[in-house]
Each structure stands twice: as C-alpha cells, then as structure tokens.
Structure 1
Amino acid sequence: MKFFLMLCCVVVCITAHTQSRRIIVTVSDDNHLPVTGASIELKNAAAGVSDSTGRYIFRQVSPGPYEAKVSMQGYKTVIKTGVLKNTDVSLIIRLHPESHTLQEVVVQNNSITTRKKEAMLNMDIVKAGFIQQHLGGSLMQSLQRLPGVKTIGIGSGQSKPLIRGLGFNRVVVLDRGIKHEGQQWGADHGLEIDQFAVQEVEILKGPASFAYGSDAIAGAVNIRRPPLPAPHSFGGDVNLIGKTNNDLLGTSVNMYYRTKKWMTAARFTIQDYGDYKVPADRLYIYDFAVDLYQNYLRNTAGRETGIHFSTGYTGNRLKSIFYLSNIYSKTGFFANAHGLEPRQVDAPMHDAGSRDILSPYQRVNHLKILNHTTYTLNDHQLELETGFQNNLRQEYNHYVNHGYMPAIYPDSLNIPRNLERAFDKNVYSLNLRDHIKIGNHQLETGINGEIQNNTINGWSFLVPAFNQQNLGAYVYDKWRVSEKLLLHGAMRYDHVHLAMKKYTDWFPSASTVNGTAEKEYLVRADNINRSFNSVTGSLGINYNTNRWELKGNIGKSFRVPIAKELGANGVNYHYFSYEKGYAQLKPEESYQLDLGTAYDNSIVRVQFNPFFNYFPNYIYLNPTAGHDYFYGAGNQIFEYAQARVMRYGGELQVKYQPWENLSAEVLGEYIYAKQLSGDKKGYTLPFSPPASVLFNVTYQPVHTGILTNTYLSVDYRITAAQNNIVPPEKKTEGYNLLNIQAGTSFPLQGQKIEVSLQLQNVLDAKYLSHTSFYRLIGLPEQGRNLVLSLRIPFSFKPAVHP
C-alpha cells in the first residue's frame, strides 16, 4: 500500500512537471530598446529582473490564469493578465517613462552598480554616452579619464591600453567575448577597434588569467556585446565628429532591423585627419634640432574606415548572432623620428600639405568574423563563441642601407622596395562556457582554445615568424552565502605551445673564420619550440550593506613569453635601439592582492581600491653597454631578461553631490614599482605612470525647456613629475591640464538629437606624458583641441506580422 501511494505521488509530480510551461517576458522602452534591471513579478511565483536583452523567463509555471507586473523606477508600472494553456507564452511589454529626465540615468546606474558590487575584481563600467562625452582619438584615449587606466599614445589616432602601469601583452582586450589579437608587442601598434561601434566597456583591474588565460596578468578591457534591438523595431543613428587640432572629419552610420526572432545591423565609419599640432615650434631629438612648420608634426595624418555587419536569430532557448568587421587605417609616422637615427627630411615636400601621407607610414587591416551562440536548457545556459581574425600590419619607408646591407636595393629581391616590415597574423578562437545555478551557487565552467599563425615580410627583420596554440580550462563559483555576503573561487589550467621559425639574412655579412675574411648569410633567429603549462587561481569575497561595499581578492596570473621576447634580433626603428631576445625565458607569474572599500549615502560616495603585486620573474628589456654595427648605425643593444618585481598602489574616487543638478568629483591614482633583482635592481619599470589627481565639477540643470540631459563639466588634472625612471628613460616634469565638456539633447521630428562639445587642453599647455610613445624623443602632447560631435538617431515602425 505504501509503495502504491509513493508511486501515485511520483506520477502526479511528473505529470505536473510535464504540464508546466514557461512565461517569457521581454521589456523594452519607447525606442524599442531593451530595458535592463526591470523588476518582473508573477503572481504566486518568484520575482525576477530583466537581463541585458530585456528578458526574464519564468519556468515551470502551472497552466491557468496569470498576472505579470513589470516596474522600473522612472517608468510607469505595467500589469498584464492572461491564461496559460498548453504552450509557452511570450509577453512583450513596452514601458513608458514617467519622467524623460530620469529615464536613462536611473536605468544605467542601477544596472552598473549591481554588477560592480557583485564582481570578484575591481571594475569600472562605461556606456556609449561616456565615450561620446570624452571622445578622444581612439577608444583607449576616450577611456583614460578612468583612474588606473592610461594609454601608450602614438600620435593623435592610435593608442594601446595600460592598466595600473602594465600594458602590451599584459592586458587582454576582448571584443564580444573573443580575444582581440593584433601586434600587441609594439608600442607603435594601435588597437584596431572602432569606438563608435562600442556600446559598453568593462575595465577589469587585477589578476584575470583565471577567465582569459595568458596575457590577462594586469587585467582586461572587455568590450561587451551590444544589446539586441527590441522585437519589431527598425532604426539607427548617424554620428558626426569634427576636431580642430588635426582638422579631423568623421562620420559613423548605424542601422538595425529586427522582426520577432531575426535581426540585422550594419555600421560604416570613416575618419580623415591631418597632421596634428603641438605647442612647440622646435624639438631636439637626441640633440638633433628639428624645426616645426606652424607647430605641425610632419606626416602624422591618417585615414580610418570601419565596416561592421551582424545578423542572427533569437528564440526562446536558442540565440545565435554572427558578426563581421573590417577595420582599416593608413597613418604616417612623424617623419623626423623614424629610422636608425634622427635625420633631415624633405621639409618643403612634407609641409606642402597637412593631409597627405608620405613615407614613412603604416597600413593596418584587421578582419574579424565572430559567432556567439547561447542555448538555455533547464538550469544550464550554454555559450559558444567562435572567431577568426586576420591582422595585417605593413610598415613602409625608403630603403636605407646600414651595416653590410647593399648600397643599391637589388631588383632580384622578391620584396617591394619600400616595404620595411610586415606582419600577417591569422587567429582561430573558440570559447565554450556553461552557466549553472545550483542552490546559492552560480557556477561557470569553460574551455578556451586559440591557434595563431604569424608570418613576416620586408627587407628589415626584428621578430621571427611563429605558430602558437593555446588551450585552457577553468571553473568559477560565485556562492551567495547571504544577501550581504558573496564568496568567489576560480581555478584554471593552461597549456601553450610556441614554435618560432628560422630566419636568415637576405644579404651576406663579413666575418672572420680561422683568420680568413669570409662572407656569409647570418642566421638571425633559429627554430625554437617551447611548451608552457600553468595553473592559476583566484579567491574573493564581497560584503555589501546599504551603504558599505567591501571587497577582497587574491590571485595568481601568468603570461607566456612572446616571440619578440624569445627571438627578437634587430633594430627597433621607433626606439633607435637594437633588441635581442632570450630563448630560455620562463613564463611570467604574478601574485596580487586587491582590496576595495566604498561608502555611499546618496550625497557622498567614497571608493578606495589599493593593490599589492609581486612578480618572481618579470620580463623586461635591459639596456646593455654593447652597440651593434652589423645592422644599425651603432645603436645601443637591449636584451630581454627577467627579475623579481614588487608593485603597489591604488585608486581613490570621491563624489559629492549636494544637489540634484550639481556634483563634484576627485579621481586619484598612484603606482610604485621596484625591481628587486637583476641588472636594474632598485629601479622602477618602463612606462610607469606618475601619480595624478583629477578634479571635476559637473552642472546638470533640471529644467531646460525642450533641452534634456544638459550638462557642463570641467576637468582639472594635476600630474606629478616622474623622477623614478629606468635608464635610458628620461625624467618627465609634472603638468596641469584643463578640459571642458558640454552637451545637451533636443527633440527634432520625434527624434532626440544629442550634441556634445569638448575643449581639450584649454590652456594649450606644453607637457610630456610619461606613457606616450613619442615621449622618448621629447615630443609634447597635442595642443588645444575643440571636438564637436553630433548623434542623430532615427527609428521607424515596421509592420508587425504574426
């Protein structure tokens, strides 16, 4: 009898489960854009919050009447009722704002604050509005207002990221979940990202190798996937930009279309700019005097284009989006500072026009094809990301012979006469993740795989060609112990194999063998095969109350030595140096402790994020007493070596908002680094940014008639002198910088036009940035620059088909 009753209970439970259905709620606003963070309540069921696509799914809902309530601060509450039968129900709910003034601010702040509170690492999150307000020549230049974030600037349109003083291959850049792979090792190689196509960026500070593998030793710049357009929407926007310093003109046009389940979007960006100005009319490059015509840097003009296309399907369980982009740029190198030594140039020819691009210059083309697919199955959310990238970078210059190179370029050489160097990299990537919720645990497991093939060309040699394979697996657990306490734990294993290819000179060099003078083709790089294995991990804790946020994280990261560090053997024309790799370098390891504390009482917010970092085997480029005469003009030889390094510092943010329309903010940062062993024991690290503090005052009037989101903002940055250097670096003096931003929005035929204006370097200050590429030759940063940008959105109401 007991067995029979138990059997009946099981049958009833199974029957009830099989009869349960799902209610899928999608929330959007008046512009058909998804609303993130909306509270969704189902009567007699648990409540939820809409995700970045505006969706939340109620699972295992019993058939019968239902009542769904959607609410969000700044919007009118919506209640929908109906009857759930034998099929799933999809509810599309449109929220209408109660106050246009509060609409965007409330949505963004709530979502960002929650994500930052629950993240294991210290994190900054910015949206497209922040980028437009602080628009620089590149994405990273637009982001360097954030504390702890700097750039290695290359002229007016190229830059690469520094996080807490570390950059190059120590910072991972992710674009839609896939590692962005270019030629990260070069200070003159910019980041091939179209900032107009960026909707949201996460800056992760700290040991992020557990999630992204090698190179995330300092952190990551995560360019997140843009939210999908709302169902049955059709629209886009036009961005216009102009700059006075280098006479830049640019536009970016975006369009999207979505039915209920299918979407397509496209964007085209083009920018054209001339030589940029500095507040100086004469420079001294290694004591070589260079006069500047009307303050212009010769041959720093450029052109950039970006083409983007995405299409895909989104259903109740399956979502798959394909993305294609092609970023192309042609930019000149400052003509007086590219080569084996400072040299005279044809000044009348270069000064005849500010927009022409003459030798030396570079062409970079980055092709990217990605797919992101998610599939929801019960308590699992599976994610698959696949990608292909091709990065082609070519440097062009007049042929100049040095050492034993022939005086006249041979016609028989199968290399274009002006192709100095070329790097052609193909990258195949795969990420597979599974998100599982078990009780109070949110588990994430995943594997990452990557194959790289990098070939070289040109009559000059620096870095050998190579093939590289990466494979990693990890597990991450976020355990919600209580409403206030979160614990984090992660573990990862990586295997990397790197095979570098032999390179022999195309010209003979003189040598002496047993007292006899001979000529031979010297081998610059040998075949090298290295395999690396690493286990990394991280532990973290978050404790959040209504006003306090406390965070702690300790972790280990790693980085495999790159081909340049292992096999370089040539002149770096941009540094006037001869660089040599060391084939026996060990993988770089980093141990880091990160802390974070924040207090917020709605009027004052104070946040302090200190860190301590130790490298047992930091890889650095060490200047020696030797000089090269085979391939250069007596350039000093630099060799890669390893040393123990200790670093510490932190960021401080204080925001005071006594009234709704007025706020003041202080952003400070400090980094100290010291080498504890090796030839440079006692010195710091190259490109170590000096301490700085930024003071900001922002006024946002509440009532401005037809104008909305109006603001006037003033930034005043004080940067200390950097006297703690590594020879042959030079000290840089401190400086003060004043920037002004203003903007507003106004309606035009039913659309909201956004206008922003910046005046950068208001006082036309002459200063050197210690993290600038051109700082090495004493070249100051850009002078005064007025930036005007205009965003014009448009939308249509397509016919809705059942």
Structure 2
Amino acid sequence: MLLFVGICFGQALLAQTRNVYGTLTDDQNQPIVGLQLNLLKPLRTTISDSLGRFQFKNLANGKYHVFINSISYQSFKQNVVIDDEDVHVNIKLRSASHLLDEVTIKNNANKQRIREESLNLEIVKSDFIQRNLGGSLMQTLQRLPGIKTIGIGSGQSKPLIRGLGFNRVVVVDKGIKHEGQQWGADHGLEIDQFAAEEVELLKGAASFVYGADAIAGAIHIKAPTVPAPNSFGGDVNLIGKTNNNLYGTSVHLYQRKNTLFFDTRITYQNYGDYRVPTDTLYVYDFAVPLHKRALRNTAGKEMGLHFNTGYLGNQFKSVFYISHITSKSGFFANAHGLEPRRVDAALHDQSDRDILMPNQEVAHFKLINRTNFNIYNHAIEAEFGYQHNFREEFNHYVNHGYMPPVYPSSLNIPINLERAFDKHVYSFNLKDHFNLGKHHLQIGANAELQQNEINGWSFLVPAFKQQTFGLYGYDKWEVNDRLLLHGALRYDFAQINLHQYTDWFLSETTNGAANQTELLVRAQQLNRNFNSLVWSIGMNYNLPQLEFKANIGKSFRIPIAKELGANGVNYHYFSYEKGDRNLNPEQSYQVDLSIAFHSSKWTVKISPFFNYFPNYIYLNPTAAHDYFYGAGNQVFQYAQSKVMRYGGEAELKYQFSSKISSSFLLEYLYAKQLSGSKKGYTLPFSPPASALFNLSYNLPKFGFLKEPYFSIDYRITAKQHNIVPPEQKTKGYQLFNLQTGAKVNISNGQSLSLSLQVQNIFNTKYLNHTSFYRLISLPEQGRNIVLSVKVPFNF
C-alpha cells in the first residue's frame, strides 16, 4: 500500500525537489578531482568532476549532512538546509598532516544501514574474518548469533540461519545469487573467504528482494571496494593451521589510474587429514580405529583465481568480476558408501596428505557484470551473471541389487565416476532506486535459468531445467526523523522440468506370474509451473539510544529437483531417498522483532522471531527398506507438514574501560511439527541453545605493536534431546577459544597484521548437532592453532 501511495503523490512531491551543488578546492585553491562526497539522509554519494564541481540532485526540503573522508585531506562535515531553494556550497579542504603515524577513516554508513533495515542485520568486515578464520567463510561467520553451519570435514560447510539451511538460505555474491549443488549436506559453497571484504547477514524472510529461496534469510558477500584513484598496491596473506597441517596463501594486487582499474587475487590452500579427540569410532556398530586420531582421506586442496576490472565514471560505472574456484577433497573413507568394512586402512594411513577414493572435485566459474548509472532522480543497477558449477564424486565401483558384479567395459561412463553434476546458470537483476519526497522506492526484476546435467554409474537426482522470474516493489517511507515504515510486494513465476532417467542395467520385475528383466525408469519426465505473491511490512522507530524494529512477511520456495525426483541411495547418509512429484511450493509466515539500547558503556539487543509453515518440506523416514540399489537401507520419503518455529538472539556488551570490554551472546530455537507422521517432533538439524561469553583487551599501542588485542571466548552449548528419529541425541559441551593479534609498522606507513587463534583450547571431545558427521557420532576437530599474517604493499 505504501508503494501505491508513493506513486500516486510522487509527481507533486517531485516538483518540490531542489539541488545541493558547489565546487571542491584544496588549500591552494586548486580544484580537487575525483573525490567522493557523501550526503545523509538519505545516503547518497557523488564524485567531483575535472573542475572540482559536484551536485546532489532532486532533494526534498529538509536538513542534510554533507561529509567527506579522505586520506589526503582532513575530514569535512557540514549541515545544509533546503527550504524551497537550491543550495550552493563551496568546500575548501586542508591537506592532511603527514606527521601522523596512521589516518583512520570511519563513517557511520553501516550503522545507518542497520538502523534503517527492518529485518535483523549483521555486517562484518575483513578484519572480523581475519580474526576468526575458520575452514571456510561459513565456518568463520558462525561465531555470530543465529548462524550455524552443516560441516563435512575441515573445508566443506554450508550455512544455517536460525536452524534453516540448504535452499532456504540465499548466498549472494556481488549481487548475483550463488548457485551450486547446495541441496546436499556434503556440498560446500565455492566461496573464497580471503576475497570477502564485507558480508551482510540478513536474518528473516528476505524473499521480496533476494527471491524465492530466502525464507530463512540471506548472506550477501558485497563487491570489493574499488581502488583509490592513482593507486597501485596489494597484500599477501599467509595462513597455517596445526590440526590438519594446512598451509596457504592469498596474494592480492590492484591498480587504478582514474576511471580504469584492475583488481586480482590468487588463493591457494593445501591441508591434510584432520584430527579428532578420540582413537576409535563406531560406524553403525562397526569399530573403526583411527591412526594417530586422524580421519583418513579428509585431506584436500583449494585454488581461487579472481580478476576484476571496469570503468568508473561520475554517472556511469560498469565492473566485471571473474572468478574460478577449484577444490579436491576426500571423504572420510569409513563413512562413505555401503561397506565401511572394505576400506584399505593401511593404504590410507601411509600419508595424511594423499587424496584417495572416495573423493570429490569441484570447479566453479563465475562471470558477473555490475553496471550502475544515474538518470535524474534514478539510480539504476543492472547485474548479469553466468555460473558453471561442475562437481564429480569418485569411488570404487561396488555392485548392489541387480548391478552387474563386473563393470561393463562397453559402458560409456568412467569406472570410478560415482556421480557428476554439471550446472549452467544465467542470472539477470535490474533495480531502480529513486525518491518521491520522503518515499525511498526500489523497483526490481530478477530472472534466472538453470540447466543441470548428471553423469556417473550411480543415480540419486535427475537432470533438470529450471526457469524463474520475479518482480518486486519496495517502499521505505521516512515519516519523520524517528519513524520509518516499510512495505514490499513481490510476484514470482517458476517452471521446472525434470528429465527422465533410466537405469543402465537390467532389473528383474514381475509381470503376473512370470519374471522378466527390464531397464527400470528411476525418474519420470516432469513439467511443473509454480507462482506466488509474497509481501512484507515493517517499521523502525529510532531514538538516540533506543532502536525498535518490527517486520512481518510471507515468503515461499519452490520444491527443488531432489525433493521432486530423488530415487536412489545417499551414500553419505546410508539411506535411500525418494522424492514426491506432487509437492506444493513451501510457504512461510514470519514475524521479526528487535529492541536495541546503546549507551557509552552498554549495548543491549534482543531479537525474537516467530515462524509458521503451512506446508514445510522435509525428508520423512518410513518403515520400508531398499534391497535393489543398496544393502537394505531405510527408505526416506519427502513429505510436507505444518511446522511452527520460534526463538531469537540476545546480545549484551559492556565497555569496562577504553581497554577492556565484554560481550554475551545467546541464541535459542524451538521447532515443532504440527501435522504428518512426525507430528509433535522437531525438525532435523535443529541447533540447541547456546551462549558465548567474550572478554577482550585492546590497546592503541604497546611498544612497537599497534592495536594489540587479546580476546577469549567461552561457549556453552546445551544438550539437544528434542530430536526427530532416526536422529540421535547429543550432549551439551563447553569450548574455549582464544584470539590475539597486532599490527607492526614495516615501511611507508604500511602495517603488517598478525592474527593468532587457538580453537578448542582444551581439545574437548564433543558432537555438533548440526554437523554432517554427527550422524555417525564423529566428534568435531580437536585443538587447532591458526596463524595468519597479512602484509600490505603499495608503490
């Protein structure tokens, strides 16, 4: 409704808009070229031209704040008031003193973004990632409240937001939705965390902007900051980890003249089998001794190549982002396939760095173009993306059911290729930001085409083609300095076509009283269309020390190919999974609240939520067992039920002094199925309640060290006895982690950054309820010392 009110009265309001313009000069009265000027509120930016001129167009009457931050000049701030006339401002900047050791530039753009977002939003920068480096970006981010991961090994993981994951969380990379094989618990995200400068985490129904899959929220990896004009430099990251003997490096190089630039990065990591604090495991009652407490065949290596380039004009910008991420990693040999007893332990234990079968190889190529241009009162963004995700799983051929005991030489599939997935994705986003008086409007469209082919002698999910298209409108109405109202409406249309799959081997069937053999059809051809209308309404009420947010919205998700057409053994779960071609789109209704208080010493924030699914899609265990394609594995069938979820996060921070601070983070989730065969039970992978206590000590300087810090985390995780069979209950546990680091001057005002972590200080043995390997009672990795060094350079 807010959107339609804004459109109806827009022209009258637009007629009253004015401009702020002027010139920018230095203390020698020379024009300053190519410097960014910022305006609040709303947040706008502009660049001074070749004569030092600048202009902010189409502003309503009111009070605005102009500010400039620059390494070369002293900071500038000035308030301007528009009262039915254009405002002319001549700005003279003074050169910054070069006697300072360091110039630290800060602005409140991110704080302002958080205050004006009706959903719960967290923003982390590269320094947070550097301090808390995990095996992957998602493992690094799980220190934040409400964020967990489903992990498999030391390098593969996928995010959970408030207990929901897989295709209910959207990961956006530089504006384009990241598409891989995210439906599988063992399929990690092909993201290089060294290339992530800023990450936004949105908790709550974000479907109206990010599309149908953002039921739980979105993780947006922002595009890296473009280099400053006339700059040439980079940095080198070095990292080492003791638990799996990881070593790696990430080399960054950039250069910019004026309007043209390039930015490139190469990342390489190599790691061995990771270690756990136990000597023996029991994989379905079969004892598995561990050589030197290492999980055999969990070694791997990763490579990331990135190249960015583009044109940066005053009114037009166009940047290309190219990346190619590759990895090869082993699966824990005793927990993959149908015969854990057949593992050649002696062969695997000869080296902790070899990658034998079973293993996976993944390559993800991504090409993104982001183009921005300003026309009158409109800021238009267009994003084009192409992705190619190629994933292969290799394993020794083992026959089951009616599969031939000897692999046929005539079969046109490599004998060790268990499964392969080959996905091509084409994406397009178009957004228009503009103001109509106090209404800040955004209108957008998203389109995506996916084509996924399969290969290998084993079958689980059919090949498919999927097309989606969405339109949305969003209105942020600045009622006054304290109150913001939000309204959004979105329509989506989707079409999915599953391709028929027929076995390559003959199976025996019964026709009346006679037996016969035939090639069985495992997946039928299926063509289905889906559409949905979703909405969101929210508000912000902001006082100097108090912030209140409320949002209610509907979101939806179309069933994915696995949920519709799966029909095979999941070797990672020792289960047989079957899809349901008649599943309906998943609907979700969610209410999010947030209350935050800030003072000079205290920060308190409480963020509760309530979530209801009328038809949640889940994998339901049945009484049936499969003997044709497996070894009597239990059959799991996709089904739908009503589900209720509620919980939230609480944050408490206290600044004892300028040097000592503490924080307390709490998260809780409760889920219950309200219908179906598992009525009364929770949902799989529901994380237990947990709390994190932190104590930090920071100094501006200590001897030759700059900004040294020392921080210790104490995490308490409750037991999880609220499970859905065949899940197993997990005990509670306590962990201690330590972080310390500092900066050291090297030359030309550059500072080397040192970061040291000790994860799981006391080598505690525990089970993470959201871990993939928790299903076989495999504990998480033991003590791990992580050292990273970042060395910047410029010319």
TM-score by length of 1: 0.90
CA deviation vs aligned residue, 1:527-563 (integer Å, no higher than 9, x gap):
0000000000100000011100000000001000000
Q: Aligned ranges for residues 123-162 of structure 1 at < 5 Å?
A: 123-162=121-160
The alignment-based identity, stated in percent, is 59
**Alignment pair present for 1:583 and 2:581:** yes
**Alignment pair present for 1:560 and 2:558:** yes
Q: Aligned ranges for residues 432-511 of structure 1 at < 5 Å?
A: 432-511=430-509
CA deviation vs aligned residue, 1:594-646 (integer Å, no higher than 9, x gap):
00000001200000000000000000000000000110000000000000000
CA RMSD of aligned residues (A): 2.7
Residue equivalent to 1:264:
262
Cα shift at 1:511? 1.1
Does structure 2 retain, via aligned residues, the 8 Å contact 1:337–1:343?
Answer: no
CA distance in 2, matches of 1:339, 1:621: 20
Does structure 2 retain, via aligned residues, the 8 Å contact 1:494–1:534?
Answer: yes
SS in 2 for 1:193: coil
Residue from 182, 185, 191 that aligns with 2:189:
191
**Count of residue pairs the alignment pairs up:** 752
Residue equivalent to 2:410:
412
Residue equivalent to 2:386:
388
Residue equivalent to 2:272:
274
Does structure 1 retain, via aligned residues, the 8 Å contact 2:21–2:54?
Answer: no
CA deviation vs aligned residue, 1:693-748 (integer Å, no higher than 9, x gap):
00000000233133222110000000000000000000000000000000100110
CA distance in 2, matches of 1:625, 1:19: 71
Q: Aligned ranges for residues 663-678 of structure 1 at < 5 Å?
A: 663-678=661-676
SS in 2 for 1:565: helix
Residue equivalent to 1:103:
104
After superposition, the Cα gap between the structure-2 partners of 1:631 and 1:21, relative to the gap in structure 1 and judged at 3 Å, is same
Does structure 2 retain, via aligned residues, the 8 Å contact 1:329–1:364?
Answer: yes
After superposition, the Cα gap between the structure-2 partners of 1:138 and 1:95, relative to the gap in structure 1 and judged at 3 Å, is farther
Code of the aligned partner of 2:786 = V
Cα shift at 1:79? 9.5
Code of the aligned partner of 1:227 = T
Residue from 725, 740, 749 that aligns with 2:723:
725
Code of the aligned partner of 1:148 = G
Code of the aligned partner of 1:779 = L
After superposition, the Cα gap between the structure-2 partners of 1:53 and 1:472, relative to the gap in structure 1 and judged at 3 Å, is farther
CA distance in 2, matches of 1:737, 1:572: 32
Does structure 1 retain, via aligned residues, the 8 Å contact 2:47–2:314?
Answer: no
SS in 2 for 1:116: helix
Does structure 1 retain, via aligned residues, the 8 Å contact 2:48–2:54?
Answer: no
Residue equivalent to 1:711:
709
Residue equivalent to 1:621:
619
CA deviation vs aligned residue, 1:101-158 (integer Å, no higher than 9, x gap):
7825x44xx3322111111210110000000100000000000000000000110011
CA distance in 1, matches of 2:77, 2:697: 37
Cα shift at 1:50? 6.7
Gaps of 5+ in 2: 1-16, 27-31, 59-64, 79-88
Does structure 1 retain, via aligned residues, the 8 Å contact 2:333–2:340?
Answer: no
CA deviation vs aligned residue, 1:9-36 (integer Å, no higher than 9, x gap):
xxxxxxxx9999775899xxxxx9x999
Does structure 2 retain, via aligned residues, the 8 Å contact 1:78–1:93?
Answer: no
CA distance in 2, matches of 1:667, 1:19: 45
**Alignment pair present for 1:364 and 2:365:** no
Residue equivalent to 1:401:
399
CA distance in 1, matches of 2:96, 2:382: 32
Code of the aligned partner of 1:262 = L
CA distance in 1, matches of 2:178, 2:35: 28
CA deviation vs aligned residue, 1:257-291 (integer Å, no higher than 9, x gap):
11110010110000000000000000011111000
Cα shift at 1:658? 2.0
After superposition, the Cα gap between the structure-2 partners of 1:522 and 1:193, relative to the gap in structure 1 and judged at 3 Å, is same
Does structure 2 retain, via aligned residues, the 8 Å contact 1:97–1:103?
Answer: no
Residue equivalent to 2:55:
58
Does structure 2 retain, via aligned residues, the 8 Å contact 1:251–1:269?
Answer: yes
Residue from 170, 173, 193 that aligns with 1:172:
170
CA distance in 2, matches of 1:765, 1:79: 52
CA distance in 2, matches of 1:613, 1:93: 54
Cα shift at 1:76? 3.4
**Alignment pair present for 1:768 and 2:777:** no
**Alignment pair present for 1:337 and 2:338:** no
Cα shift at 1:457? 0.1
Cα shift at 1:327? 0.2
CA distance in 1, matches of 2:44, 2:189: 33
Cα shift at 1:430? 0.2
Cα shift at 1:72? 5.6
Code of the aligned partner of 2:55 = F
Residue from 295, 303, 324 that aligns with 1:305:
303
SS in 2 for 1:566: helix
SS in 2 for 1:470: strand
After superposition, the Cα gap between the structure-2 partners of 1:53 and 1:794, relative to the gap in structure 1 and judged at 3 Å, is farther
Residue equivalent to 2:83:
none
CA distance in 2, matches of 1:50, 1:20: 12
CA distance in 1, matches of 2:111, 2:628: 58
Residue equivalent to 1:294:
292
Residue equivalent to 2:523:
525
After superposition, the Cα gap between the structure-2 partners of 1:100 and 1:672, relative to the gap in structure 1 and judged at 3 Å, is farther
CA distance in 1, matches of 2:120, 2:542: 14
Residue equivalent to 2:5:
none
Residue equivalent to 2:791:
792
Code of the aligned partner of 1:150 = K
CA deviation vs aligned residue, 1:567-598 (integer Å, no higher than 9, x gap):
00000000000000000000000000000000
CA distance in 1, matches of 2:211, 2:670: 26
Residue equivalent to 1:85:
none
SS in 1 for 2:504: coil
Residue from 583, 591, 594 that aligns with 2:592:
594
Gaps of 5+ in 1: 1-16, 27-31, 41-45, 62-67, 81-87, 797-802
SS in 2 for 1:428: strand
SS in 2 for 1:507: strand
Residue equivalent to 2:4:
none
Deviates more, 1:48-57 or 1:239-248: 48-57
CA distance in 1, matches of 2:534, 2:357: 46
List, as ranges, runs of 4+ consecutive aligned residues in structure 1 with deviation greater than 4 Å: 17-26, 46-57, 68-75, 88-102
CA distance in 1, matches of 2:228, 2:172: 25
Code of the aligned partner of 1:316 = N
CA distance in 2, matches of 1:52, 1:175: 25
Cα shift at 1:39? 6.1
CA distance in 1, matches of 2:617, 2:48: 45
Cα shift at 1:378? 1.1
CA distance in 2, matches of 1:182, 1:442: 34
After superposition, the Cα gap between the structure-2 partners of 1:96 and 1:69, relative to the gap in structure 1 and judged at 3 Å, is farther
CA deviation vs aligned residue, 1:667-700 (integer Å, no higher than 9, x gap):
0100000000000000000000000000000000
CA distance in 1, matches of 2:494, 2:184: 21
Cα shift at 1:227? 1.4
After superposition, the Cα gap between the structure-2 partners of 1:748 and 1:677, relative to the gap in structure 1 and judged at 3 Å, is same
Does structure 2 retain, via aligned residues, the 8 Å contact 1:275–1:298?
Answer: yes
Residue equivalent to 2:12:
none
After superposition, the Cα gap between the structure-2 partners of 1:77 and 1:391, relative to the gap in structure 1 and judged at 3 Å, is closer
Residue from 534, 537, 544 that aligns with 1:536:
534
SS in 1 for 2:724: coil
After superposition, the Cα gap between the structure-2 partners of 1:537 and 1:777, relative to the gap in structure 1 and judged at 3 Å, is same
Residue from 201, 216, 220 that aligns with 2:199:
201
CA deviation vs aligned residue, 1:164-188 (integer Å, no higher than 9, x gap):
0000000000000000000010000
Code of the aligned partner of 1:543 = Y
After superposition, the Cα gap between the structure-2 partners of 1:400 and 1:665, relative to the gap in structure 1 and judged at 3 Å, is same
CA distance in 1, matches of 2:364, 2:177: 13
Residue equivalent to 2:779:
780
Does structure 2 retain, via aligned residues, the 8 Å contact 1:332–1:357?
Answer: yes
